[in-house]
Structure 1
Amino acid sequence: MSITEKSNISRKLLMIPGPSECFQEVLSSMSEPPPAHYMDDFVAIYDEVITLLKQVFGTRGDVFLITGSGSAGLEASITSLIEPGEKVISDEYYLKFLQAIGAKPIMLQRGRGEAITADMIEKILRREQDICAIAVAHNDTAQGLTNPIDEISEVAKKYSVLLIIDAVSSFGGIPIKFDDWGIDICSSASQKALSIPPGLVPIAVSRYAWEKIMNRKNPIPSRYLNLLTYREAHEQYGSWHPTPFTTSPTLVKALLVSLRKLMAEGLNNVYERHAKTAMAVREAVKSAGFKLLVMDEKYSSNTVTAVRWPDGYDYRKFWNLLYRKYNVMIGNPPAQWEAWPIFKDSFRIGHMGRTAMRDYVLSTISAIEKALIDINYPIKKGVMTEMVEAILT
């Protein structure tokens, strides 16, 4: 279905930073009767999913699926690897998980829209003693930026600390090189660039992470979010029951459909598509006089763009026009402000998985342009959509 024109949109386009729109093939697979979560038919599906996930992670090591939200992966990473009292350099995404187990997080201090750099981390490692790990997001969805994990990993190796990565909004849209970069635990989620509904957490674990886990002084304070549980289950009865708990066969089947689709397109082509659509979104909003939230554009995300909202214009009216009149939902709704006031300064556009395509981006930018005109923002009609067409045609 073409979605280039607003008149063709019969429902709201989901252009938030996740969950993203599902591929039609995914939706079709989910309408089929689910298999059991064990025995031959399901094991064949699960094993192929794991094989393909390893290609996306860029690893030959262990990969598992946890049933849960992306946060389950972050908590499983911390709960399994880190012990009470251990020091971990952390961003805001891992902070509360570290605090919950009695670890000692050392928060990275940075400005709004500022990427985490290797230099920032090395300064802390020079100053602080006995740090055991670094825990940061690969792609910072809240700020529309991608942290340079390849550079951060070099610092982690230099100081012999473990590296824990949140790849929830990058996995499947931005390259990850788990083995080459020396990542120790990397978790993702199904609902962003993989374009299936929320509910599955792919997670990769290095042999160095296993060594630390196996030599813990204290038991892992969880059964469900315990990576050893998944490893032991796979070793003991993975040939007929590949997960230690009941997973969602429907979602695993959907994930297989999505991964096969990515492989058919070619991962490099997928990453290039995300890069190109992201460029189109960035250039379109800049052509209207907006500024990106990211301070240094070389760190701009290829799956989500965060845009600073200018003073003097009614954002609440703008967002609601998009949502109610033009059938497009973007990130940072005014309803979010009470819980997360930091989002008052910007709006976010997701372009990941299925939505990292010309028609989705063009429809969204066209709607944004119309809503801006409706609130009397000074913009020439067509300037934003022409920019998208110039880049994506």
Structure 2
Amino acid sequence: MTIRRNILLTPGPATTSERVKQAQVVPDICPREVEFGLLLDSIRRRLVQVIHGEDTHAAVLFGGSGTAAVEACISSVVPYGGKILVLINGAYGKRILDICRIHLRPEQIAVYETAYDRLPDPAEVEHILFEDTSITHLALVHHETTTGILNPLDEIASICWRNEVKLIVDAMSSFAGIPIDLRQTPCDFMIASSNKCIQGMAGAAFVICRKSLLSPPEDYRPRSLYLDLYGQHAGFESNLQMRFTPPVQVLYALDAALDEFFEETRLGRYWRYCRSWEVLLEGMAELGFAAAVPDLPQSKLLTTFLEPDHPRYRFEAMHDALLAEGYTLYPGKVGELASFRLANIGQIDTHDIRAFLNALERYLAANDIVLPPRFKTLND
């Protein structure tokens, strides 16, 4: 069967390879069989290998979107006498705050929020931790896909380590796309999903946890049945099974995606993404589109572009025309700022990006939308 190849310029799901798609076509199997348990065990071990955490960390798998894993982590690991500091400079930091407000008492939550076009100041973070010694955990979004910026993970990790604060990292959109080494960057919990830079299918998510923190405290009482991180880990350790029905075919696809990742290598994938980003950014500038936050550290995985002020421009029309040609654009998420987002993750390369730019140029010309080119210097 021939499957149409769509180019998803979205922060996830991402374009997948034929190999990953075909990996889902397997004989029906009960997920309680040992064969499937061994597959899960291999996936768990290899996920940890992606970020060099084999000696110190273990992965806990869940069926669900990335947000399910974020909620499982926060609702489980922040104790009833604990307090979490949430760093916010985009929509996904705010989502973490929403989760905290559901599961924690107001006095258990502290917030350090900056504008979408500012990074959290490590010195200010350290000052907050120094002033409030009741803070036990800190949550940070590594790659904030609201704008495409990269938050200062290494600096924040060092601060948490010095202050004996447990670090929770939402690495949903950076895991397997940007090299991370847990041997150098101390992190207690790192959360991601199967459908972004790992280039698998949507439906599985995971928390990579420091092994020494996977035993619940004596007074632990789960805030959720399904999203109990400790219960999920203990269940798998006892019988190689997830406690509830897993997304079987999605996990076979994830296994194939991990094969592809290690074959390409960490740096190979990162440099492919970087080259695609450079072509995308230069091409969009030539067509007259400005990046929303060009002066901040870029992930090189996703870029937010400002919508042009032109009487014949409409995002919905542009989206629909390019969708018909096989290219999916993503709307913006920066408050009232008129913007849209283009990601260059997934099984795509510079050839696909150039083809997209050509399609966009044809659309602009056909609709008589002429924008002045913009000079853009690529960030290192």
Residue 72 to residue 13, structure 1, CA distance change in 2 (3 Å): same
What is the TM-score with the length of structure 1 in the denominator? 0.84
Q: What is the alpha-carbon root mean square deviation over aligned residues? A: 2.6
Give the alignment of 1:72-221 within 5 angstroms. Answer: 72-84=68-80, 86-90=82-86, 91=88, 92-103=94-105, 104-207=108-211, 209-210=213-214, 214-215=216-217, 217-221=219-223
Does the Cα contact within 8 Å between 2:168 and 2:188 map onto a contact in 1?
A: yes
Residue 233 of structure 2: which of 231, 234, 238 is its match? 231
Whether the aligned pair in 2 keeps the contact of 1:84 and 1:101 (CA below 8 Å) is: no
The 3-state SS of whatever aligns with 1:116 is: coil
1:329 matched residue in structure 2: 328
Identify which range, 169-178 or 258-267, moves more after superposition.
169-178
Offset from partner CA, 1:12-41 (integer Å, 9 cap, x none): 532222111121101111123233213332
User: Which residue of 2 is the match for residue 20 of structure 1?
Assistant: 14
Q: Deviations over 1:30-53 (max 9, x none)?
A: 123233213332133222212211
Q: Which amino acid aligns with 1:148?
A: P
Q: How does 1:333-372 map to 2 (within 5 A)?
A: 342=335, 344-355=337-348, 357-372=349-364
* Code of the aligned partner of 1:226: D
Map 1:371-390 to 2 at 5 A. Answer: 371-379=363-371
* Letter matched to residue 340 of structure 2: F
Contact 1:172 1:353 in 2 (8 A): no
State the match for 1:4 in structure 2: none
The alpha carbon displacement at 1:73 in A equals: 0.7
For residues 30-49 of structure 1, the aligned pairs below 5 Å read 30-49=24-43
| Match 1:71 to one of 64, 67, 73 | 67
Measure how far apart 1:257 and its partner are.
0.5
Q: Is the 1:304–1:349 Cα contact (8 Å) retained in structure 2?
A: yes
Q: In 1, Cα distance between the equivalents of 2:280 and 2:201?
A: 24
2:269 partner letter: V
Q: Is the 8 A contact 1:87 1:130 kept in 2?
A: yes
Query: What displacement does 1:161 show?
Result: 0.7
Instruction: Output aligned runs, 1:282-301, within 5 Å.
Output: 282-297=281-296, 299-301=297-299
Q: C-alpha separation between the residues in 1 aligned to 2:46 and 2:220?
A: 34
- Cα deviations by residue, 1:97-123 (Å, 9 ceiling, x for unpaired): 100112433222212232334234224
- AA partner of residue 308 (structure 1): L
Q: Could you tell me how far 1:207 is from its partner in structure 2?
A: 3.7
Where structure 2 has 5 or more consecutive residues not aligned to the other structure, the ranges are 89-93
Structure 1 pair 225–10 and aligned structure 2 pair: CA distance change class (3 A)? closer
Q: Which residue of 1 aligns with 2:91?
A: none
Shift of 1:169: 1.2
Give me the whole-angstrom Cα distance separating, in 2, the residues matched to 1:284 and 1:120: 37
Higher helix share: 1
The 1:376–1:25 alpha-carbon spacing in structure 2 relative to 1, beyond 3 Å, is same
Change over 3 Å in CA distance of 1:283–1:62 after alignment to 2: same
Residues 174 and 274 of structure 1 are in contact (CA less than 8 Å); yes or no, is this contact kept in structure 2?
no
Question: Secondary structure at the residue paired with 2:73?
Answer: helix
Change (3 A) 1:281 1:374: same
Q: Do the aligned partners of 2:85 and 2:112 also contact (CA within 8 Å) in 1?
A: yes
- AA in 2 matched with 1:261: E
